[in-house]
Amino acid sequence: MANSPQARKRIRQTESRTAVNMARRSRVRTYVKKVETAIESGDAAAARDALREAQPEIMRGVTKGVVAKNAGARKISRLNKRIKALSA
């Protein structure tokens, strides 16, 4: 158990930051899921629009540190690849 005031403060900070990061990660996942749903429905235009909305959210997750830089780029790239395959 934390005994010093600094340790108690750190616990409070960790809890609040964890809550914020969970919300951010959930938001990114929601936008990615919207793109995947549009791809599965077979609608290329809707999938393209969903990806256009998801890209800033994924990159915002990267800048905030909830998604690794290469993981965010990889996710966008793979979604874009699936949409291109859908269009062809």
Tens digit of each residue's pLDDT (9 = 90 or more) over 34-56? 999 999 999 999 999 999 999 99
Q: How far apart are CA 88 and CA 77, in angstroms?
A: 17
pLDDT at 8: 94
pLDDT < 70 stretches in the chain:
none
Site of tokens 């290329």: 44
Q: What is the mean pLDDT of the chain?
A: 95
CA-based angle 3:15:10, to the nearest 5?
35
pLDDT at 48: 96
Q: Token pair for residue 6?
A: 């600094």
Q: How far is CA 34 from the centre of its chain?
A: 12
For the chain, domain boundaries: 5-87
What's the residue count for the chain?
88
Q: Token pair for residue 70?
A: 């290469």
Give the class (CATH, top level) of 5-87. mainly alpha
* Closest by Cα among 83, 24, 35 to 59: 24
